[in-house]
Structure 1
Amino acid sequence: MLVGAALALQVAAVWGAAPRTSGAGNALADLHTALGVTCASCHGTAKVAAVDDSERSINVTCVGCHGNLDAMAAQARAGSHVNPHKSHLGDINCTVCHMGHVQSKAYCTNCHAFAMKIPAGDPVPQKPAPKAAKKAAVKQRVERADVVVIGAGAAGMTAAITAHDAGARVILIEKQPITGGNSMLAAGGMNAAGTRFQKAKGIADSVELMYQDTMKGGGNIGDPALVRVLAKESAGSVDWLTSLGADISDVGRMGGASVNRTHRPKGGAAVGAHIAGVLKKNAVQRRIDIRLNSKVVKLIEDNKGRITGVQVEGKHSGLYTIKAKAVVLTAGGFSANADKVAFYRPEYKGMTTSNQPGATGDGMDLGAKAGGELKDMKEIQIHPTVAAGSRILITEAVRGNGAILVNHEGKRFVNELTTRDKASAAILAQTGKSAYLVFDEGIRKSLKQIDGYFHLELVKEGATIQELAAAINVPATVLEATVASYNAAFDGKSDPDFKRPDIPRPIRTARYYAIEVKPGVHYTMGGLKINADGQVLAASGTPMAGLFAAGEVTGGVHGNNRLGGNSISETITFGRIAGASAAKLVKGGAKK
């Protein structure tokens, strides 16, 4: 009976198919019941159904009946434009989207405007909660670990792996139902100087040049000590990632860089999902304790102000405490927190963001409440090229590989490889406060991730420049002249109009393409103040005992403007440093 019911449900659950309902309710549990699947099939026969916060046991049952994500992806209806079971999010739990007793929702729609149908996607009427019987007070459970890492993006997974490999027992806490954070969305690449991959391509670079570029790009207000660490350790971080199985052997250029130093997978694929997948695989192989749907609500201090653990609120388990010898904050920035963005920068109120929904600044708040100093909080970056009408970031690597920016009059108006703040300001000064990225088939083939923009239907195209001009409603003769002038600059190896420092390709190969872009809130340069060992600093300037931080939760590395490619570089380098410092403290080292 259950086998037949499971097969029937499997067919019904294929994305876009119309599921059968019993009429008894709208929840996924009701659909299962209508097919003869009992509560015990998912929850077992125990009197009290226990579900872990990461929902691993439930997902094992889901996969047992329906197959894994690859199996479900293979069943997608012919002609489906978007396959939700095959995405850049990687191997995620079924329960990220499919909820048993409340309304199901496609996680993709947090960022994308896909018209996705999902079984049990209609609102579920909520029954009045029964009056709770008086219960005896239950003692809150207490666990122990050497190191607790808060936030499972690239910085957090890097810190966790590093601390684990140094001999520490690590618990990695993530409030979202998936790992990866904003790192999962990183597109352009990872900046590093003096790497083996640069040397193999004959690219002359140095730690000093990367330091100077980063300081200049950030308005010379970045912390020089932290920027030097970023540059000095960048090649080592590339080697470390490569040793874990990452491919970042392709090298390109992004805005503000003097030479090609942006490392990414071969063919120019997006770096973030690749690195996040490699880090997660390594964390799982090491059996690091990763807890999803778990939010740290408080840092625990002893009577001397030393951080000695965390209080966690699990989705199913409720409040509990983890005592630890060291805590590492890697919970990211706050670009998805519209209220916090508007508080610090009122002029950005109502602006879209390119960030995933978990980027709300919780880690900064935790550190600040414990006494950590915040710095540069008003330094919020808007990225110049977010696809108009969406939250989809168009990677800076498109411009780095040769695309140009033109306005609604069909003219170039800025050096496409200038820093993000200047490019954003230039776009906002144009008609409609938007512009078009224009490129050709040659540029498309040079960067694999451009194919994704076609998949998302963000691209207009034409067989000729004239046809493209008609598609985006700009004067054809002007656009033709603009492209011809740019091609002449390529031929002459000089851009007299806008002084673009690098023109790697002309725009001559049909077909021709354009994506309308607008600036959007992208990155928060401010955060908790740290030193070169990743220790969080109090307002007095002294390190807070037992507390470390890395990644976008910190401030000081990027000044008032982050260069493209420096985010992943920061998360890996300072994630390694914070993880190593935390493990050293656990093992009796000096960093307290």
Structure 2
Amino acid sequence: MRKSIKFVTLILIFALTLTTFIGCSSQEANESVSESTGDKVVDVVVIGSGGAGLAAAIEARDAGKEVLIVEKMPMVGGNTLRATGGLNAAGTSSQAALGIEDSAESHYTDTMKGGYDKNDPALVEVLTSQAADAVEWLIGLGADLSDVGRMAGASQDRSHRPTGGAPVGAHLVQVLKASAEEKGVEILIETTALEILAEDGVVTGIIAKDKSDNEFTIEAEAVIVATGGFGANITMVTEYDVSLDGFGTTNHSGATGDGITMAVAVGADLVDMLEIQTHPTVVPSNGYMITEAVRGNGAILINRDGKRFVNELGTRDVVSEATLEQEGETSFLFFDEGIKESLSAIDGYIRQGLVTEADSLEALAEALEIDADNLIATVETYNGFVGENNDKDFGRDDMPRSLETAKYYAIEVGPAVHHTMGGLKINTKGQVLTEDGNPITGLYAAGEVTGGIHGGNRLGGNALTDLIVFGRLAGQSVATDL
């Protein structure tokens, strides 16, 4: 079996991430959320409080519906808290301010190509055509999405994030959570959905339990499933791809596929369950993901011979596979002071002790125990490619800067389970479908719990787009249908 990052429980890492990016404990982050108090009756119950669940709740509440969110973890945010790179959208005000020309059609083409055309074209059309409006909606709620960079597989700079390239996910959770609470959405933390209730094919609510294992019923005319994927459930992962046995995960410990299981029990169909993505730049010792934006801003990958071995902006599956072919099945993400200054997220990696740094290439090579002459030659060759705007070795088409400013930095990285592209089958309204293709009355879903949008490989930056676009859509559809 391949040497890989061990599959470990990441509650401690998740807490570290939350503390680093939000700057408060889980108790402080959720001081205004509630705990369960017995049976309830609402218009809409949302299962999961990540970006999709919060966006859905806000839209349903704006339409005048009484909305309740249940969240099994002790904090709001789910995997959205871990998103660092950005949110893909084309034709936004942020792009216009930076002079970036882009289009929804280009975004669509990149997404279908990145997913090997396994994507549902109708869902991708919704994703890409409504992405710019999602960005403007978030900005209207108070989000800072003024910095725009490029993630792997994109033909244009369209990944939106806060000023200076700061981590985007925790910022969006803060903005969305504040908006939901301001609008009167009740959020129950440490409250686990156990079952979706249905009578004669019509969803009527859920059964949940609180942190003391007391079960209660939430009656609702509609249920929105926004529980995320199953990347932290090794049993479920290996059920669909046994080759991933032993791999680590970038997911928080709550990403266990509960929503998929509950929806299937009431007749939901599944799609693309075999499509499980690994992320190529994850720290082997602790499963901490290094954002793709580091490569997008100009970093390269080198092996233990001090040489490049892949187009660093290839799709995640391609870069992961290439990394596994190197000695030790890991590599080093290499960058200089210029890249560090271009992306403030890197400061967090340094504070956490994930980065090896040195004042010269020779000193860095010594610290990494790699061939100094090879490293120097690699960097010189790459800088030459940047000057010529032609990567003659691997065909990288976006090389934003040379690597020539000391200090020099490296992070050891390798692949880990990152995103599960498969999940509940939905239509363009966010309604969950049966095997016959019919909507289940009262059941909706959004985010990584769904399938069909990303096909065989998700492009970096499209996850947040998915969460917000389809989260909003589910909330709007619920309000219309009710």
TM-score, normalized by length of structure 1? 0.76
Alignment pair present for 1:320 and 2:253: no
Counterparts of 1:270-349 in structure 2 under 5 Å?
A: 270-302=167-199, 304-316=200-212, 318-349=214-245
**Structure-2 separation of matches of 1:234 and 1:365:** 29
Alignment pair present for 1:533 and 2:429: yes
* Native 8 Å contact 2:47 2:53 kept in 1: yes
Q: Which amino acid aligns with 2:133?
A: G
**Partner residue of 1:359 out of 255, 260, 266:** 255
Alignment pair present for 1:559 and 2:455: yes
User: Percent of counterpart pairs with the same letter?
Assistant: 51
The change in CA–CA distance for 1:83 and 1:424 in structure 2 (over 3 A counts) is closer
Q: 1:155 maps to which residue?
A: 52
Secondary structure of 1:355's aligned partner: coil
* Native 8 Å contact 1:96 1:178 kept in 2: yes
Q: 2:21 maps to which residue?
A: 88
Counterparts of 1:8-47 in structure 2 under 5 Å?
A: none
* Native 8 Å contact 2:65 2:479 kept in 1: yes
Q: Which amino acid aligns with 1:241?
A: L
Secondary structure of 1:487's aligned partner: helix
**Structure-2 separation of matches of 1:336 and 1:96:** 23
Q: Which amino acid aligns with 1:175?
A: K
Counterparts of 1:126-275 in structure 2 under 5 Å?
A: 142-275=39-172
Q: Which amino acid aligns with 1:545?
A: T
Larger radius of gyration: 1
* Native 8 Å contact 1:192 1:235 kept in 2: yes
Q: Which amino acid aligns with 1:144?
A: V
**Structure-1 separation of matches of 2:213 and 2:327:** 53
* Native 8 Å contact 2:423 2:448 kept in 1: yes
Q: 2:333 maps to which residue?
A: 437
Secondary structure of 1:444's aligned partner: helix
* Native 8 Å contact 2:43 2:221 kept in 1: yes
Q: 1:407 maps to which residue?
A: 303
* Native 8 Å contact 2:18 2:170 kept in 1: no
Q: Shift of residue 475 of structure 1?
A: 0.3
Q: Shift of residue 96 of structure 1?
A: 9.9
Q: Shift of residue 505 of structure 1?
A: 0.9
Q: Shift of residue 86 of structure 1?
A: 4.5
Q: Shift of residue 492 of structure 1?
A: 0.9
Q: 2:371 maps to which residue?
A: 475
Q: Shift of residue 317 of structure 1?
A: 6.5
**Structure-1 separation of matches of 2:326 and 2:345:** 27
What CA deviation, in whole Å up to 9, does each residue of 1:358-388 have, x standing for no partner? 0000001111111000111111000000012
**Structure-1 separation of matches of 2:429 and 2:201:** 19
Alignment pair present for 1:580 and 2:454: no
Structure 1 runs, 4 residues or longer, greater than 4 Å off = 82-86, 89-93
Q: Which amino acid aligns with 1:295?
A: T
**Structure-2 separation of matches of 1:221 and 1:83:** 36
Q: 1:508 maps to which residue?
A: 404
Secondary structure of 1:308's aligned partner: strand
Secondary structure of 2:448's aligned partner: helix
Q: Shift of residue 87 of structure 1?
A: 2.9
Instruction: Give structure 1 stretches of 5+ with no counterpart.
Output: 1-81, 98-139, 587-592
**Structure-2 separation of matches of 1:441 and 1:334:** 37
* Native 8 Å contact 2:53 2:471 kept in 1: yes
What CA deviation, in whole Å up to 9, does each residue of 1:541-561 have, x standing for no partner? 011100000000000000010
Calculate the aligned-residue CA RMSD, in Å: 1.7
Q: Shift of residue 92 of structure 1?
A: 4.5
**Structure-2 separation of matches of 1:188 and 1:465:** 27
**Structure-1 separation of matches of 2:416 and 2:22:** 22
**Structure-1 separation of matches of 2:18 and 2:230:** 28
* Native 8 Å contact 2:18 2:26 kept in 1: no
* Native 8 Å contact 1:96 1:177 kept in 2: no
* Native 8 Å contact 1:325 1:585 kept in 2: no
What CA deviation, in whole Å up to 9, does each residue of 1:263-320 have, x standing for no partner? 0001000110110111111112122110011111111111x21001111111137111
* Native 8 Å contact 2:27 2:75 kept in 1: no
Secondary structure of 1:210's aligned partner: helix
Q: Which amino acid aligns with 1:256?
A: G
* Native 8 Å contact 1:92 1:178 kept in 2: no
Secondary structure of 2:148's aligned partner: strand
Secondary structure of 2:264's aligned partner: helix
